[in-house]
Every structure is written in structure tokens, then in C-alpha cells.
Amino acid sequence: MKSLYGKFVLSSVLVLAAGLVLSYLIVNSAYHRVMKEDNDAKHVAIAGSMAGFIGENDNLDLDRYLRTQADAGYILYATDREGGGTFYGGPFDDQTLPPGTVENVLSGEIYHGMRDLPAETFWAGYFANDLANTAGVPFTYDGRPHALFIRPDIALLFNELHWLTAIMLVSIAVIGFLAVLLTAKHLIRPLTELTEATNRVAEERFTDLPDIRRADEIGQLSDSFRRMAGKLAENDLARKAFISDVSHDFQSPLQNMKGYATLLMDPELSAGRRLEYAEIIRSESSRLSVLSGQLLVLTSIDQFKELPEHNVFSVSEQLKETVRKSRWPFEEKGISVTLDAEEASVRGDRELLGKVWENLLSNAAKYTPEGGEVLIGVSGAADFVTVTVEDSGPGIPPGERDRIFDRFYRSDKARSAGGGTGLGLSIAKGVIALHGGTISAGESPAGGARFTVTLPKKRPA
């Protein structure tokens, strides 16, 4: 039995059958412990009342009286000696009594056959239609001692009850079995649907997800599955878009290089042109080298669950050093750079954070027009350090302030100006997130861009 459906049905049927067997055993034990004694006492009392009635009526037609009792639903045996007597109703299946029983009753004892019959089961005890399974009392008739043995005629009295009980048991079994089949189907169908959907998702087909609306655990499983499939579909799209962006960004500089290299092969080319084309090829190849370096950083950030390196170091010192190193592009455009840095340290990866500051400063230099100004601030609070980089450039329109952190996102202006890969800020965001911090873009007081980075002093464990 391999399927869950089969197992469920089989185990439910076994439970049902075990329930029936167990309830039979319980009824059996209840009969032997409690009811057997009561049943015996009840019939001894009935037999006693018959005996009393016979004793009180001297002219009674005994034979007729006992026949009437038989018609009322009893099987009787009346005798005045050992080995002989008359049976009424019935008949008994076994007409023997334990030896000496009649003798004892004739001498005044009461016979408790219903209580003392050695029967293992309720069935054999309650229903055994034997003379030994009777209540026996003495009575006097015609001046002579007699013995009267009685038991109810079960077949006559309880015939309808037998049928009703049998119909009830069969109905319980059939209805129970059908209910088990339906419940199993209801429970297992969504699991089958989910399994099929899992197989589709494994083949990267994210459509036709089962819509199972239930409040139970299967409903929760289905919700989690839909969320997971949604996330996988999103990742799949992002991965495909990433690959297409990467190939496009590699393709265009390569095409340029190929084109200018072909032009360079012209022997008639003037020295001035030759230099110009060689310069274009150099700048395109350095763009490719930056791009592949950034891709490597991005992939490694993606793989990190936590920072591989972390030391405590001064962010202010690191920024001072970065400003010193990237002075040239600012000086070239006559941009004034002011650094207002409080002493502040963080725990983190020095090299990765260095890339963030380099990117923010190179963007500031790139987008700020000649003669503009750039302000860099570092301030430390109790739990975190804030770094701001403001410029007097064109700024970033509010609608783009979130998207500039997406991979390969470049504003149209930046795109048409050429240069830049659109990866710098997404790397910055990844690095800051790895440090448990945040980075956001806003507007500087001079109307340019303002980047704010906050880093927790103690990195979350």
C-alpha cells in the first residue's frame, strides 16, 4: 500500500474494526462483572413470584398457568423429582442440569444458573438457551415439593431488537467506510495537487499554482508553497534580466573595441586619429575590467550570509584616506571637497566598506558640475555611525531614489553620457546590508544628491 490515500483508508478501517472488537470486549466484561448477577437476581425474583402465586392458589391448574407464562415470553421447566418433568415454551437447546440440582431445589435451595454458568463470553452467557442457564426456585403444589426453572425466551422477546442492532451495526460500518473514503479524498487531493505543482516549479514553470483555500495545516502549506513559488519566479526573472544586462553591457564595449580596432588597421589613418581610436579602445577595455571586477564583488556579496572578515576600525580615518586618494577627479573639475568627520569606529569588512565610500565619492565627482562642492560628514551616536555624502550636482529625481540601487540601473542622462556600469550603488547597498545598516538617497541643501549611510556599531550576530 504505497499511496497515502490507501494507507489512510486501511488504517481507518482497521481502527473501525478494532473499535468494534474492543467494544464487544467491554460489553462482555460489563456483562460478567455487573449485569450477569443482576440478570440472575431479576429472574430468580420472577420465578419466586410465579412460585408464590402457585402456592397461594390451591385449585390452580398448574399446567395451564405455566403455559400462559410460556406464551408471555418464558421457557420453563417444572418437576417434582430428579429425571422427569414438563417443559413449557422453548425448546431448550440442552436439557441437562448439573447433577443434584433438582434435588437441591426440591429441598428448598435456589438455583442461580444464570449467574454461575461457566461462560467465557457475553454471547455464550446471555444467549445460551440451555436448561442449565436458568433461575430455579422451589414451590409446593398439590401438597408436594416442586422445582421451577425459568429463563426468558430471547428469540421471542428480542427478535426485533436483534434485527435493529444488526442494521445499526451494518449502517455504522457502511457509513463509516464511505465517510473514511470521502475524508481521505478531501484531505489528500490538495496534497496531490501540491506535488504536481512542485514538479512544475522544479521544471521552472511557475504558472497554474493550486489555489487551495483552507484554514488548516494543508492551507498553510499551500500558502507557503505559493509564496515560495512566487519568490522563485521573481528570482528567475531577476536572474534572466541580470544575464541579459550583463551580456549587453559586455557586448557594447566589445563591439566598440572591434570597430575601432578595424579602423586602426587602415594604413592611411592620420597619427591624430590613430591616437584617438587607441584611447577609445583603452577606455572601453578599462570599463570592461571595472565591470567584471564589480560583477565578482556582487557575486561574492550574494554568496555571503555573513561577513567573512570583520575588524573594528575607524570609519572617519578610512573616509579621510579615500578622499585623499580620489582627490584628482575633484581637482580636475575644480570641485571643493569638505570632510567634517567625528571620530567613529565600526566593526566590519574594511575592504568592502572602502568600495562603498569610493563609489559614493566617484559618483559625486562624476555628477557634480565644475566648480561645485561636495560635503562629507561622519557622526557617531551611541549605537550607530552615520556617513553622509552631499553634492551640488543635478540631484536624483524622487521617483528614481529607490531604483538607483537596482542592479544595472542608470538614469537616462547617465546612460547617454556614457561611462558607469550601474552596479556601484547596488554593490554599496549589498555591502551595507551585510553590515546590518541602511543606505538611502535624498536631496542635499544645495539641491544636489545626498546619500545617507547608517551602520550599527555592533554588527548583529
Residues that bind ligand ADP (CB under 6 A): 359, 363-364, 367, 391, 393-394, 396, 404, 409-411, 414, 420-426, 449
In angstroms, give the least distance from the CB of 453 to ligand ADP. 13
In angstroms, give the least distance from the CB of 442 to ligand ADP. 11
Q: Which is nearer to ligand ADP, 204 or 412 (CB)?
A: 412
CA 117 – CA 40 distance, rounded (Å): 10
Helices 217-264 + 271-303 axis angle, to 10: 160
Q: Which of 79, 174, 94, 86 is nearest to 127 (CA)?
A: 94
CA 406 – CA 426 distance, rounded (Å): 6
Q: Which is nearer to ligand ADP, 131 or 396 (CB)?
A: 396
Q: List the grid coordinates of 25.
A: 470486549
With contact defined as beta carbons under 8 Å apart, do 20 and 107 qualify?
Answer: no
With contact defined as beta carbons under 8 Å apart, do 225 and 198 qualify?
Answer: yes
Q: Which is nearer to ligand ADP, 91 or 419 (CB)?
A: 419
In angstroms, give the least distance from the CB of 433 to ligand ADP. 15
Span between the terminal Cα atoms of the chain, in Å: 49
CA 197 – CA 423 distance, rounded (Å): 36
Measured CA to CA in angstroms, residue 23 lies from 120, 167, 169, 424 at distances of 16, 17, 12, 76
Three-class DSSP category at 195? helix
Q: Which is nearer to ligand ADP, 59 or 416 (CB)?
A: 416
In angstroms, give the least distance from the CB of 372 to ligand ADP. 10
Three-class DSSP category at 256? helix
In angstroms, give the least distance from the CB of 414 to ligand ADP. 3
In angstroms, give the least distance from the CB of 286 to ligand ADP. 13
Q: Which is nearer to ligand ADP, 354 or 420 (CB)?
A: 420
CA 194 – CA 9 distance, rounded (Å): 21
Q: Which is nearer to ligand ADP, 197 or 428 (CB)?
A: 428
Q: Which amino acid is at 145?
A: P
In angstroms, give the least distance from the CB of 280 to ligand ADP. 19
Q: Which is nearer to ligand ADP, 153 or 249 (CB)?
A: 249
